Structure 1
C-alpha cells in the first residue's frame, strides 16, 4: 500500500482542476488519486485556503481573485447563477429555468433577483456561496 500525503493530494487536485472544463469540480473527479477520506480532507483544506470554493456537500468551484477588491470570487463570468446551474448538470439533475426567468426572457417581467430553477428529475442539493443560494421553484 502506498501512502500519500495530504499536501501531495492537494497539489494533484489543483493540477487536475486545470484540466476540467467549466468551473465546477466534484469530489468524484478525484476518486482515482487517493481514498475518499483523504480526497475530502484535501478539498476542505483547499476551500479553507481559498484555492477552491465549497458550494455544496461534494461540489466545489474554481475561484479567482477580484482585481478590484482582492476578494475571492467564483471563476465564472456568469457568477453564482451559472456555477449553480453547471453544478446541477454535473450532478445529473434535470432542471429548467424558473417561470420568472422565462417571463423575463419573453419581456414580461423584470430581471429575477435570485437564482431559482425548477427541478424536473433528481434530488436537488443545497448550493450556496457568500450569501448567494440556489432556490428551487418546486420547493418554494
Structure 2
C-alpha cells in the first residue's frame, strides 16, 4: 500500500516544551504516519520522551492507536473532531503499525477475493498473522481484526 505522506499542519504553539517541539518537528518531516517512543529515544531519556508524547496526545497533535503506538492527527474541518491524518485512513495506519511492530501479516481472504475480482468490498481492516503476536490496534469504532 503506497500512500503519499499526510499533509499535517506543523503549527507548534509557544507553550510546548522543547522536546515536544523537537518530536513534533521530526514527525512533520517524516514520510511515516505511525511512530513508537523508540523512534525518539535519541532525543532524550525514556521518561522525557514518554512525557513529551503524552503532551502531544493531550494537545491532540497525535493519537494513540495501541500500546506504545501513536499516529499523526488532524482536526476535521467540518466537524472539528480529531481524526487520523493519513490519506488511507485507519487501514493505512493499522497496516503501517503492523509493519513497524515487525508483525508478519498477509491480507485476509476477503481482501484477496476482492482483488481477484469479487464485488464484495471488505469493510473492516482484517489481516492474517503468522505467529501469536496480535497487537490490539484501534481508533474509535475502528479495530484491526485477525483472521484465523
Matched, 1:85 2:85: no
Indicate the residue corresponding to 2:7 in structure 1.
Answer: none
Q: How many residues align?
A: 133
The answer for unaligned runs of 5 or more in structure 1 is: 1-5
What per-residue deviation string (whole Å, max 9, x for no partner) do you get for residues 30-62 of structure 1?
001111122112212211221001111111101
TM-score by length of 1: 0.87
Aligned residue among 53, 63, 74 for 2:63: 53
The answer for unaligned runs of 5 or more in structure 2 is: 1-15
After TM superposition, the structure 1 = structure 2 runs for residues 40-119 of structure 1, keeping only pairs within 5 Å, are: 40-119=50-129
What per-residue deviation string (whole Å, max 9, x for no partner) do you get for residues 51-101 of structure 1?
001111111101122222221111111100111001111111111111111
Indicate the residue corresponding to 1:21 in structure 2.
Answer: 31
Cα offset for 1:130? Answer: 1.5
After TM superposition, the structure 1 = structure 2 runs for residues 119-130 of structure 1, keeping only pairs within 5 Å, are: 119-121=129-131, 123-130=133-140
Partner of 2:128, secondary structure, is strand
TM-score by length of 2: 0.82
Partner of 2:93, secondary structure, is helix
- Kept in 2, the 8 Å contact 1:24–1:86? The answer is yes
Partner of 1:62, secondary structure, is strand
Structural RMSD (CA) = 1.6
Partner of 2:42, secondary structure, is coil
